[in-house]
Structure 1
Amino acid sequence: MIKQTSALKMSNGTEQNSPIHKVWKPELYKIQLEAPTPKALLRSDDIKDDLLPDCYGYEYHGVMDHKESETLLNEKCDGSYLVRQSPGATDFYTLSLRFNSRTKHYKIYYKPNCGHFLKEDFKRFETIHDLVADGLVNFYMQMHAAPIIKSMMTQTKNSYQQSPYMTLNRRKLRALSNDLRKSLKYDNQPPNDNATSITTSLTAASITNSSETKTTENTQKQNEENMNHLNLNEKNQASTVDDSDVLPVVYQKSHKFKIHTFKGLNWCEFCANFLWGFTAQGVKCEDCGFIAHNKCSELVPAKCLPDMKKIRGVFGSDLTTVVTAHKCTIPFVVRRCVEEVEARGMLQEGIYRVSGFADEIDALKMALDRHGEKTDMSESAYSNINVIAGTLKLYLRLLPVPLVTYHAYPTFIQSTSCTSIGEQVLKMREAVKQLPPAHFNCLKFVIEHLNRVSSHHAVNKMTEHNIATVFAPTLIATPPHLTDLSQEIFALTSLITHCHAVFMN
């Protein structure tokens, strides 16, 4: 039953296949096999139908106190159990269970369509037999596997590099890491002469006296020195990075772990130990399928590598997940919608303000989720360009984390209190640098598109302010219950107006 795989080993900066060896650790599986199994103690007499709970059979012994139940279970083997009603109890039943030559008593509950459980927020079981079986395994593990479990709870971050997940995905992860490293290096290149002249003229226009100009120049000089120092540190750090660190901190994507009940035998992909129990044994990432113990998942780095097979659709999915799974920088939904709007909607009066037909937007959403890039979005399929524009707004609105993230939001809003345009640009540039790469690239793409839309405001009536009013609730991670979006609209207006200076390389 032990899973085996070919381990990958580093040698002189290259990857070689080592002889097949056992990756998974079978100790916990062996211990689970030794755990006692449930043995219901059945009653010998009948109980009136009106007093017999529908959820129990002959393991139910009616009203019985703990002393009587202990007498019945005394001398019985471990795993023996019965269900009873404690005297005076009205909303629960009692499970009396024999383990380690002692009788334990637990309050148990049952709800139709929910099953049997010990607590409201605890595991649910279809039968009382399953509940007892799972409990016996956990009792036995706590007694006989404590050293192994304690070792699992003290795992270090190095365990990730040696984990089965890394063993199986090392090449794939390294390729992604190298691509991101090159992209980051390109983004950190100093601005070209044209970009520098744009910033210089923009800053100069916003300064009203020579002393302010001098201060700004000194600030820019200091920023350039800090950037050069940062780049030098990154180069030095890159030269000392161990080749075995195949996925450096450049890549950040949190796993989407959910409690999961596994069928058959499964092992943790972090610590390689068996997932014991019969239900809710651990967690599973909905984006990449990473399997782990609940506690081990807390130690897993935020380096999820999404699998297209596990992503149900692009609408409502995390942005980093989508671009990583599709191996792109801009989600195809955003790119295709922008292309259609720019081809046939730039002169449309009220573009993005006028709503398209809801049923057509919903139909296009379903088509994009189902057919992806192949979806027909031409004029013959969707003649009303407002449907395309509405679909783009819907996609951005359904993002779990908006383009301007909660982390970048405070810095973004601080730009509204700046006294000059130059200071606003510098503050917004600081804000967008706090965005994850996927958010930065997509926000840049969308904002530059909106800037082009606003350049036709004489015809389409959509000025920067009008567009910002429409998109502020969609693009910015505003605090809950915030109703006054004047600051957000002001900041977004400024971002659209000065996007080329904010996003310049």
Structure 2
Amino acid sequence: MFLKASGRSQLCGPALSPAPSPTPMYQLQQEAPRPKRITCPQEVSRGACQFHGLISREQADELLGGAEGAYLIRESQRQPGTYTLALRFGGQTLNYRLFYDGKHFVGEKRFESVHDLVTDGLITLYVETKAAEYIAKMTTNPIYQHLGYTSLLRDKLNPGLSRQRSEPRRVTFRPSDKISTSPLGRRSALKDGSEKHCSYHKVHNFKVHTFRGPHWCEYCANFMWGLIAQGVRCSDCGLNVHKQCAKLVPSDCQPDLRRIKKVFSCDLTTLVKAHNTLRPMVLDMCISEIEHRGLTSEGLYRVSGFTEHIEDVRLAFDRDGEKTDISANAYPDINTITGALKLYLRDLPIPVITYDVYSKFILAAKMTDPDSRLEAIHDGLLQLPPAHYETLRYLVSHLKRVTMFEKDNLMNAENLGIVFGPTLMQPPDQDTLASLSCMRLQKLIVQLLIEHEDILF
């Protein structure tokens, strides 16, 4: 798409008579001027294109001859060594600074040839000039809700799942309230509330996309014009929309398993929605296996498994998903399974304790009053996305059970905090020094989560 023409000429060119708003965008694209390259005897070959050498704007204008869609490339007189695309549109010559980095571009889009660049530019200029008023209004009456997209997604979900999901219970602490020093009293105080169903909302993962053949926006139902990068596609569910429409689409993405290429390094909410589960299957399967045969293993989670075996488990999950075999027959060393679980949590693009609430947990860890600290941690938990909350709740419950076998495995809450602190919490800025300075606080947060699991979740 053209950005801005140099000199007097602007993106939309001159004001043409607008077409009636009902005119299909596809028809407008068909009516757009066709590119006509102007050649001359003095044409010079440089890089990947032919150009007219050092000529003025007036000379370029004369060579173009007033034909709509005519274009040439000239060396700029104002900045020798740079190149300008001169293009006739709407009765005047538009001049654009032309760049090349292996592909030709004047704006965001990159093209294999100047001819394709000009073709796409003429389509964009023509459509946006002829239907500017229509384009401005085309998102005001979306057909998104009426096309059955949201109903289709709802039908994909297991009706029983929503009944199983429950949102963390929120408690409002009053200044006069104090959490009882007894575990039972604290549990009662923190869990005094009513259950609510939670919804695993997920925003669409839109990326610029080039559509082959005609495509229409699934939000506003209008044609997506241009040769390349006509709009965006959600890489998780496949929804196709205009860039401007993408800002208005609801956060109701239901990832399609056929589009999820891997399990490890996949966004947590994306994975659980794709598999229609409360938690990632990696968590459930690894914890089940660990509790089946590893709770009394000395140094559980602290002792590392062989890297190549852990990598095998990762590849198996990415390839086979929930059909992955992590039994003792496949991996006798339980440290391979604990290593795979830690790797999965560490490789999440957004940590279990998300970047958005990281600072709240760090501030809570710095508090000296035990009751205030627990209240602050509890508030932080309630701000986690539902999938992250459920994953953390299930993991911490498991780690609590691990500590019950401390006599055999030598792993108490503090030791597990050292192991899982940096795994579950990472500073947003990824600063190494910041990470090192916060390790003690990260350890303390996980330790407190384990020690007070019965009242915090």
Following the alignment from structure 1 to structure 2, what is the Cα–Cα distance between the partners of residues 32 and 379? 62
Contact preservation (8 Å) 2:231, 2:243 = yes
Identity %: 38
400, 408, 411: which is aligned to 2:349? 400
Contact preservation (8 Å) 1:206, 1:420 = no
115, 132, 139: which is aligned to 1:146? 132
Following the alignment from structure 2 to structure 1, what is the Cα–Cα distance between the partners of residues 200 and 338? 32
Q: Deviations over 1:41-62 (max 9, x none)?
A: 122x365xxx5213114xx322
SS in 1 for 2:236: coil
Contact preservation (8 Å) 1:116, 1:128 = yes
- Structure 2 counterpart of 1:321, which letter? T
Shift of the 277–179 alpha-carbon distance from structure 1 to 2, 3 Å rule, reads farther
> What is the aligned length?
426
Q: Which residue of 2 aligns with 1:53?
A: 46
Give unmatched runs, 5+ long, in structure 1.
Answer: 1-24, 191-199, 208-212, 235-247
156, 161, 170: which is aligned to 2:145? 161
Contact preservation (8 Å) 1:79, 1:97 = yes
SS in 2 for 1:283: strand
Q: Which residue of 1 aligns with 2:10?
A: none
SS in 1 for 2:340: helix
What is the Cα deviation at residue 324 of structure 1?
Answer: 1.1
Shift of the 177–380 alpha-carbon distance from structure 1 to 2, 3 Å rule, reads closer
Matched, 1:172 2:153: yes
Following the alignment from structure 2 to structure 1, what is the Cα–Cα distance between the partners of residues 240 and 322? 30
Q: Deviations over 1:430-449 (max 9, x none)?
A: 32222222112111111111
What is the Cα deviation at residue 414 of structure 1?
Answer: 4.3
Matched, 1:331 2:280: yes
Give unmatched runs, 5+ long, in structure 2.
Answer: 1-21, 172-176
- Structure 2 counterpart of 1:53, which letter? R
- Structure 1 counterpart of 2:128, which letter? Q
**TM-score scaled to structure 2, two decimals?**
0.84
Matched, 1:31 2:28: yes
442, 447, 456: which is aligned to 1:488? 442
Q: Which residue of 2 aligns with 1:499?
A: 453
Farther-moved stretch of structure 1 (409-418 vs 130-139): 409-418
Alignment of 1:88-487 (within 5 A): 89-112=79-102, 115-119=103-107, 122-152=108-138, 155=140, 160-162=144-146, 164=147, 167-173=148-154, 176=157, 181-184=162-165, 203-205=180-182, 220=189, 224=192, 227=193, 250-417=199-366, 421-480=370-429, 481=431, 482=434, 483-484=436-437, 485-487=439-441
Farther-moved stretch of structure 1 (125-134 vs 63-72): 63-72
Q: Which residue of 2 aligns with 1:21?
A: none
What is the Cα deviation at residue 285 of structure 1?
Answer: 0.8
71, 83, 86: which is aligned to 1:81? 71
Following the alignment from structure 1 to structure 2, what is the Cα–Cα distance between the partners of residues 251 and 491? 25
SS in 1 for 2:104: strand
Farther-moved stretch of structure 1 (91-100 vs 315-324): 91-100
Matched, 1:63 2:51: no
Following the alignment from structure 1 to structure 2, what is the Cα–Cα distance between the partners of residues 69 and 296? 38
What is the Cα deviation at residue 27 of structure 1?
Answer: 1.3
Farther-moved stretch of structure 1 (491-500 vs 472-481): 472-481
Following the alignment from structure 2 to structure 1, what is the Cα–Cα distance between the partners of residues 111 and 243? 19
Farther-moved stretch of structure 1 (423-432 vs 263-272): 423-432
Following the alignment from structure 1 to structure 2, what is the Cα–Cα distance between the partners of residues 46 and 271? 49
Shift of the 433–176 alpha-carbon distance from structure 1 to 2, 3 Å rule, reads farther
Following the alignment from structure 2 to structure 1, what is the Cα–Cα distance between the partners of residues 307 and 80? 51
Contact preservation (8 Å) 1:52, 1:62 = no
Give the alignment's Cα RMSD to 1 decimal.
3.1
